[in-house]
Amino acid sequence: MKNLIEIKDATKSFHKNKETITPLDKLSLDVGRGEFLSLMGPSGSGKTTLLNLIAGIDSPTSGEILINGNDIAKLSRSQLTRWRAQHVGYIFQLYHLVPILSAYENVELPLLLGKWTKAERKAKVMAALDLVKLSDRAQHRPSELSGGQEQRVAIARAIVHDPELLVADEPTGDLDRESADSILRLLGDLAEKHGKTIVMVTHDPKASAAAHRALQLEKGKLVGEGHLLSH
Amino acid sequence: MKIFILALKNLTRHRMRSLFTILGVAAGMFLYTSVQTMQHSLSVATETNAADTTLVVYRENRFCPMTSRLPEHYAPMISKIDGVREVIPIQIAVNNCGASLDVITFRGVPPETLQQYSPDLKVLSGSFKDFTSRSDAALVGEHFAKRRGLSAGDKFEAVGVNVHVAGIITSDSPQDMNVAYVHLPFLQQASKIGLGVVTQFNVKVESSDMLDSVAAAIDETFRSDQQPTNTRPEKAFFAETAKQMIELISFTRWLGLGAVAAVLGLVANAVLLIVRGRVKETAILQTLGFSRGAIGFMVVCEGALLGLIGGLFGVLGSALFFHFKSFTLGNEGLTLALTPSSMVVVTGLLVAVSLGLLASIYPAYKATSRPLVQSLNA
């Protein structure tokens, strides 16, 4: 399987109170196209930092972050913004839907950056909402949805512009077991049926088990790896 | 356009917050537009009233129509001076010589000379014939009539003078809009000044370059008379009479500036609070791929919209207020109708939008300058 993500000696460090903190230390990692990868580890192990580097939200202090062969570590802030708009869908633990917008309008947000017509946007939004089985809730505001439904809307928002890479930061961390299982099945389907490459940070071993492969991080380094499912 | 619509949604879906900000902007812009209306009305009154070839002959050392008394028989003597084309004796009666917001001015002129004296005068209702045929008839300026609720055929009493409204008039001259023209002999008797006494003479000269020489000749003629005169070009007469009003109204410029500063501060504060309350939301949008420019544009749009909507309410509210209230400021017989103008309205709206834009620049910078990871963790 050809890799979508290739990380080579990525280090992230910053200074705080005259002290150098290194949440990620010369980490190297490959993620295959269409792979569903989970990152586990205790708090402060560097999971979210790694996720942010992969998503182009943050840049490494040194090393390479190759996505589809393109080293995003070399991109400027505005180039990274444009790159994210085209290639990444981000799923947050607390969904982070815009509260004043309806589910439809939230999902439509990434499409506002492109040149789609209103009709094209509508078709894409409804398709994404259909995929997460929430097309009947399109006009509902986040406050009118359950946590599981909000996360489904967030997933629809992450996939509506058809990015090849989805990154998810504890997507089930704030959900009950039933809703969490449903979200994990959805993520699994997105990888299996739609070919999305998914990198997910989680504390939950059950959530991690839903991924094809699980990596363990500690103090900014990979300390364990296991294939839970074979391709 | 899509970002603009998003900004509009941000405002319409935070109704109470937007409403309070808009109310504040509207109050500030109401004050600003009211001050501008006063300034504009003053400049219109002082710039368009005075003719270039007209002199005003007044009693020397008298500044109020109540105290300027000249013998009417000066008129034929003035008309004999070289360069004089026409002399019109005028009696003026006002209810208040000092600054007032409801000045009533009667101008007594020989009825047959009224159309020469004010050639662009048009009768809107009633008739000129009715005016000439009745000795107690009055032609009432449109603003005056509106302020007092008068129409043709009505009778009204002011300054101890009872008149019959023969017609409502309009004119390009703002002064004509605020006075009641009556017959000279009637006003002389009704105001108890007595026949043969007038307040002033308006003297038309052959050409503007003769103004100074004719004025000097008139004053020289009556220098040793019991009632010496002071003759000035009409423009200078207006400028001098309007001086107090100009000083008063010039002061209001500071109120206007204060209103502008208040609107600027209010919108800046409101937009800054909006931005601070939306740090995470802004970070989410940036994560989704919204550029700093797009985020900044959205914030600026919100500021501009707050300015525009508040400005619309304030500016139009002020225009309607002056339209329906019909205030007339007066001083020493010179009247100044505070009338709304389309130029003031357009300027007010532009100022409101500009203030909104200006006020949101710093919040827009704040919204986009924070590192994304830091904002996501906020």
Please check whether residue B206 is in contact with residue B83, taking contact to mean a CB–CB distance below 8 angstroms. yes
Q: Quick one: A119 exposed, middle or buried, by C-beta within 10 A (0-12, 13-18, 19+)?
A: exposed
What residue has token string 């026409």? B86
Predicted pLDDT of residue B217: 93
Contact: A78, B292; criterion CB under 8 Å: yes
- Tens of pLDDT, residue by residue over B132-147, are 888 899 999 888 888 8
Predicted pLDDT of residue B196: 86
Predicted pLDDT of residue B49: 55
Q: Based on the fold, state whether residues B213 and B154 are members of the same structural domain.
A: yes
> Which residues have C-beta within 8 Å of that of residue A90, sequence separation ≥ 6?
A55, A57, A84, A158, A166, A167, A168, A169, B287, B288
Contact: A86, B285; criterion CB under 8 Å: no
Residue range B282-300: mean pLDDT, rounded: 87
What range defines the domain where residue B204 resides? 61-227
Q: Based on the fold, state whether residues B72 and B211 are members of the same structural domain.
A: yes
In this predicted structure, the answer to whether residue B290 has a pLDDT above a threshold of 60 is yes
Nearest CA in chain A to B13: A100
- Tens of pLDDT, residue by residue over B327-359, are 777 666 667 777 888 999 999 999 989 988 888
Cα separation, A94 vs A174, in Å, equals: 7
Chain A partners within 8 Å of B10 (Cβ) = 100
Cα separation, B290 vs B300, in Å, equals: 15
The sign of the CA dihedral A81, A86, A88, A90 is positive
- Tens of pLDDT, residue by residue over B166-210, are 999 998 777 778 888 999 999 888 877 788 889 889 898 988 888
The verdict on residue B254 lying in a domain is: yes
Contact: A78, B373; criterion CB under 8 Å: no
From the list B10, B284, B285, the residue facing A100 with the nearest CB is B10
What residue has token string 């503007």? B208
What one-character-per-residue DSSP string does B97-161 give?
SS-BSB--EEEEE-GGGHHHHSTT-EEEEE-HHHHHH-TTEEEEEHHHHHHHT--TT-EEEETTE
Predicted pLDDT of residue B12: 83
Contact: A100, B288; criterion CB under 8 Å: no
Phi, psi of A194 (to 5 degrees): -115, 0
ipTM over 0.85: no
Domain final residue, candidates B227, B261, B285: B227
The verdict on residue B54 lying in a domain is: no
In this predicted structure, the answer to whether residue B152 has a pLDDT above a threshold of 50 is yes
In this predicted structure, the answer to whether residue A6 has a pLDDT above a threshold of 60 is yes
Which of A53, A83, A100, A201 to substitute to test the interface with B, most B CBs within 10 Å? A100
In this predicted structure, the answer to whether residue B235 has a pLDDT above a threshold of 80 is no
Q: Based on the fold, state whether residues B212 and B80 are members of the same structural domain.
A: yes
**Residue A92 near chain B (CB below 8 Å):** yes
What residues 33-52 of chain A have any CB closer than 8 A to a CB of chain B? 52
A230 pLDDT band (50/70/90 cuts)? very low
Q: How many CB atoms lie within 10 A of CB B276?
A: 13
Chain B partners within 8 Å of A58 (Cβ) = 372-373
Q: Based on the fold, state whether residues B173 and B118 are members of the same structural domain.
A: yes
Predicted pLDDT of residue B259: 85
Q: Based on the fold, state whether residues B28 and B84 are members of the same structural domain.
A: no
Lowest mean pLDDT among B11-20, B50-59, B149-158: B50-59
> What would the two tokens of residue A79 be?
């180039």
Q: Based on the fold, state whether residues B197 and B69 are members of the same structural domain.
A: yes
Contact: A81, B292; criterion CB under 8 Å: yes
Angle among Cα A154, A161, A179 to the nearest 5 degrees reads 25
Angle among Cα B124, B129, B131 to the nearest 5 degrees reads 75
Chain B partners within 8 Å of A82 (Cβ) = 289, 291
Domain final residue, candidates B193, B227, B261: B227
Predicted pLDDT of residue A229: 44
Contact: B287, A58; criterion CB under 8 Å: no
Lowest mean pLDDT among A191-205, B92-106, B108-122, B305-319: B92-106
Nearest CA in chain A to B5: A112
Phi, psi of A74 (to 5 degrees): -90, -5
Domain ranges of chain A: 3-227
B291 pLDDT band (50/70/90 cuts)? confident
Domain final residue, candidates B179, B196, B227: B227
> How close A57 comes to chain B (CA, Å)?
7
B99 pLDDT band (50/70/90 cuts)? low
In this predicted structure, the answer to whether residue A130 has a pLDDT above a threshold of 60 is yes
Cα separation, B122 vs B143, in Å, equals: 14
Q: Where is pLDDT greater, at A200 or B333?
A: A200
From the list B6, B280, B373, the residue facing A52 with the nearest CB is B373
**Residue B289 near chain A (CB below 8 Å):** yes
- Tens of pLDDT, residue by residue over B218-233, are 999 998 888 899 998 8
> Which residues have C-beta within 8 Å of that of residue B110, sequence separation ≥ 6?
B88, B89, B183, B184
Predicted pLDDT of residue A159: 85
**Residue B73 near chain A (CB below 8 Å):** no
The verdict on residue B234 lying in a domain is: no
Q: Based on the fold, state whether residues B295 and B352 are members of the same structural domain.
A: yes
**Residue A157 near chain B (CB below 8 Å):** yes
**Residue A77 near chain B (CB below 8 Å):** yes
Q: Based on the fold, state whether residues B211 and B311 are members of the same structural domain.
A: no
The verdict on residue B236 lying in a domain is: no
Residue range B42-68: mean pLDDT, rounded: 76
Q: Within a 13 Å sphere around the CA of A115, how many CA atoms are in the beta-carbon half?
A: 0
The verdict on residue B56 lying in a domain is: no
> Which amino acid makes up residue B325?
K
**Residue A98 near chain B (CB below 8 Å):** yes
Percent of chain B with pLDDT over 70: 92
Predicted pLDDT of residue A140: 93
Fold annotation for A3-227: Rossmann fold (3.40.50)
- Tens of pLDDT, residue by residue over B245-261, are 777 777 778 888 888 88
Please check whether residue B320 is in contact with residue B23, taking contact to mean a CB–CB distance below 8 angstroms. no
**Residue A110 near chain B (CB below 8 Å):** yes
Predicted pLDDT of residue B48: 60
Q: Based on the fold, state whether residues B89 and B142 are members of the same structural domain.
A: yes
Mean pLDDT estimate for chain B: 84
The verdict on residue B208 lying in a domain is: yes
Cα separation, B188 vs B178, in Å, equals: 20
From the list B13, B291, B373, the residue facing A100 with the nearest CB is B13
The alpha carbon torsion through A23, A25, A29, A31 (nearest 10 deg) reads 20
- Tens of pLDDT, residue by residue over A42-96, are 888 888 888 889 988 888 898 888 998 889 888 888 888 888 888 999 888 778 8
Tell me which H or E stretch contains B182.
Answer: strand B179-183
Which of A49, A80, A112, A125 to substitute to test the interface with B, most B CBs within 10 Å? A112
Contact: B289, A113; criterion CB under 8 Å: yes
Chain A partners within 8 Å of B284 (Cβ) = 92, 96, 98
Q: Based on the fold, state whether residues B309 and B368 are members of the same structural domain.
A: yes
Q: Based on the fold, state whether residues B82 and B110 are members of the same structural domain.
A: yes
Q: Based on the fold, state whether residues B98 and B155 are members of the same structural domain.
A: yes
**Residue B15 near chain A (CB below 8 Å):** no
Counted domains in chain B = 2
Nearest CA in chain B to A95: B284
Mean pLDDT estimate for chain A: 86
Predicted pLDDT of residue B35: 85
